[in-house]
Amino acid sequence: MKSVEGKIGRIVFGRLFEDEDLVEAVTQMAKERQIKAGFFALIGTLKKAEMGFFHKGQYEPIAMTERLEIVSCIGNISVKERDPVVHAHITVSNRKGKVFGGHVLPGCIVAATGELVLIEAPDSGLQRKLDEKTQLYLWAIDE
Amino acid sequence: MKSVEGKIGRIVFGRLFEDEDLVEAVTQMAKERQIKAGFFALIGTLKKAEMGFFHKGQYEPIAMTERLEIVSCIGNISVKERDPVVHAHITVSNRKGKVFGGHVLPGCIVAATGELVLIEAPDSGLQRKLDEKTQLYLWAIDE
Amino acid sequence: MKSVEGKIGRIVFGRLFEDEDLVEAVTQMAKERQIKAGFFALIGTLKKAEMGFFHKGQYEPIAMTERLEIVSCIGNISVKERDPVVHAHITVSNRKGKVFGGHVLPGCIVAATGELVLIEAPDSGLQRKLDEKTQLYLWAIDE
């Protein structure tokens, strides 16, 4: 593991509303509040989920169209080419309590509500850069 | 998304003991330490679980009576009519590694131990108020 | 619940690389950065998983040898006999979105990448001590 450290900044509580796209909403909030890096966790409900499984260089989609609880959604924010980007993974449960999960793709649409808590790192210098091997934008940490 | 921000306060580490009710124990600790808002995560074991799936205005219960690992429990604390209340979602795993999940209801009873970490937000002003549409107490954020 | 509180310290962002063992990598980072206590969350991918279910005083292993997403990994760091130790639980998902989980044992091996965020508690005094009843090293909190 390579790592960087920084000071803790603000804590943000965000409420997501019906029909908001999860990734879009978190990204938009990060831009508005000028958050460069941080950790977040989110619980709530979805009316549909779009989750990815990384395989041979791309995310294969797993789509669910039923009402679901977001039993956990954990993610981070870091800067890619000046803008904050969201990377998050999610688990969702259905009416029988069965759980499904994956990488959060666009298309995770909030049902009744979503509750996000974000902890900011204002000065870590964390950035994403293109990784040649995986062709993903990964954390570029040199120390 | 609508959001509020605040300063970070204390960090609390809490150990839950056998036969404690998860929601009750976290709520009690929040009252004793006068925590108005915050994020928490908890791992440990349960001897039974009571989880909810929100459907048509109420939580349908999903009950499990076997020994389970708490593979994740993520939640928050906010104030509802002056008192701190807990909202948390959970995933649990059985002896075969199968995972079940939902909204944490009263009746999640600790087995060997539970380990909670809570990060406090002392000045966010976050509050829950009755939402007419869902009849749930949701975060009332106006900005 | 019994609890201790402290101040918040640093935030650390760590990137895990292919073939690193999850517990080993987090433990090593904690030693290098002299972290005595904290909370962390981690997402990423695994090429194999080794998870435990606590039963009759020991962890029964659940082994998976396929490529998996780490949909959540939540844990903490605390001191046991002067050294920082990691306690974490994990959920992983396969290509169909099915989720499995348990206690993180040695043998969770990173595939493409892992992204860790850790929040430090420098002065909490948190320690693990042998618990006679379970024969586990649990948080020794007296207050």
Please tell me the distance in Å from B72's CA to the nearest CA on chain C.
7
**Contact, C50 vs C97, CB < 8 A?**
no
Q: Do C26 and A1 touch (CB under 8 A)?
A: yes
Nearest to B112 among C8, C54, C75 (CB): C54
One digit per residue, the tens of pLDDT, for chain C of length 143 reads 999 999 999 999 999 999 999 999 999 999 999 999 999 999 999 999 999 999 988 999 999 999 999 999 999 999 999 999 999 999 999 999 999 999 999 999 999 999 999 999 999 999 999 998 888 999 999 75
Any chain A CB within 8 A of the CB of C115? yes
* Residues 6 or more apart in contact with residue A14 via CB below 8 angstroms: A25, A26, A29, A114, A115, A116, A117, A118, B1, B2, B3, B141
- A92-142 residue pLDDT tens: 999 999 999 999 999 999 999 999 999 999 999 999 999 988 889 999 997
Any chain B CB within 8 A of the CB of C124? yes
Q: Do C113 and A100 touch (CB under 8 A)?
A: no
pLDDT exceeds cutoff 90 at A90: yes
The confidence band for A143, taking pLDDT boundaries of 50, 70 and 90, is: low
Q: Which chain C positions have a beta carbon within 8 Å of A125's beta carbon?
A: none
ipTM, two decimals, is: 0.96
Distance of alpha carbon B50 from alpha carbon B60, whole angstroms = 10
Number of A/B CB contacts below 8 angstroms equals: 126
DSSP state of B24: H
pLDDT of residue B133: 84
Neighbours of B133 (CB within 10 A): 10
Distance of alpha carbon B75 from alpha carbon A116, whole angstroms = 10
Q: Of A19, A47, A93, which to mutate for an interface test with B (greatest number of B Cβ within 10 Å)?
A: A93
Any chain C CB within 8 A of the CB of B8? yes
Any chain A CB within 8 A of the CB of C99? yes
* C-alpha distance from residue A51 to each of A22, A73, B22, C41 (Å): 12, 11, 30, 19
E strand or H helix at A28: helix A22-32
Any chain B CB within 8 A of the CB of C126? yes
Which residue of chain B is at minimal alpha-carbon distance from C137?
Answer: B113
* Residues 6 or more apart in contact with residue B91 via CB below 8 angstroms: A71, A72, A91, A93, A99, B70, B71, B72, B73, B99, B100, B101, C72, C91, C99, C101
**Contact, C46 vs C102, CB < 8 A?**
no
pLDDT of residue A135: 87
pTM beyond 0.90, yes or no: yes
* DSSP annotation string for B117-134: EEEE-TT---BEEE-TTT
Q: Do B13 and C5 touch (CB under 8 A)?
A: yes
- A32-70 residue pLDDT tens: 999 999 999 999 999 999 999 999 889 999 999 999 999
pLDDT exceeds cutoff 70 at B143: no
Q: Which chain B positions have a beta carbon within 8 Å of A99's beta carbon?
A: 91, 99-101
